[in-house]
Amino acid sequence: MMKFTINAISAVIAMSANIALASPWHMVEKRSKQADEPVRARAYNIFEVEPDFLENLRLGQTVITLPLPDGKMVQYELEAYSVLPPALAAKYPDIMTYKGHEVGTPSNTGRFDISPRGFNGMFMHAGEQIFVDIQRNGAYAVYYKKDAHSINGNNIKESIEKSELKKKVSTQN
């Protein structure tokens, strides 16, 4: 029994190492490849993805590797999930939407889409909400929700709270 357990643990470690090595995502180190548009987060990392990532997803790949802001990777299992009405889906067949869950942790869920512009994702991992946003240069900004801010630079949570407060004040007057 002990030998089986050691072999099983060794197999899991080897598979984890292969996943990390085989990731289609690569963190960009050079400043010249940084985001060419404002990223809506005070802390983020920029990644590039191999071209076949999107094509494999379009062709029905259901388990994908996603980057985390710290450079680690996580796997998600996806299923097609149409949010467009049938007429719009027929008009824009290149827009595909998915829902999914983290492999091994089904309580971590997310929503994803691909379009001619690229891939976008919003998912949970280790109690944190993570965003993967396509940039104009084809790179991707990856950041935590806690680091996100609105277009005007305000923290999103603060902006929502101020908006809710304004609504309450206006309805009381």
Domain-located, residue 18: no
Res. 40 pLDDT band, cuts 50 70 90: confident
The reported pTM is: 0.73
**Average of per-residue pLDDT values in the chain:** 82
Calpha distance 133→100 (Å, rounded): 17
pLDDT of residue 152: 61
Domain-located, residue 162: no
Domain-located, residue 20: no
Averaged pLDDT for residues 111-138: 95
DSSP conformational letter for 165: H
Domain count, the chain: 1
Reported as a single tens digit per residue, the pLDDT across 58-117 is: 999 999 999 999 999 999 999 999 999 999 999 999 999 999 999 999 999 999 999 999
Domain-located, residue 110: yes
Domain-located, residue 8: no
Lowest mean pLDDT: which of 41-45, 82-86, 143-147, 156-160?
156-160
Domain-located, residue 159: no
Q: With contact defined as beta carbons under 8 Å apart, do 69 and 44 qualify?
A: yes
Averaged pLDDT for residues 15-19: 43
Domain-located, residue 157: no
Q: Residue 68, exposed/middle/buried by CB under 10 A (0-12, 13-18, 19+)?
A: buried
Range of the domain at 131: 25-147
Domain-located, residue 107: yes
DSSP bridge pairs for 46? 141
Which residue has tokens 């396509």? Answer: 134
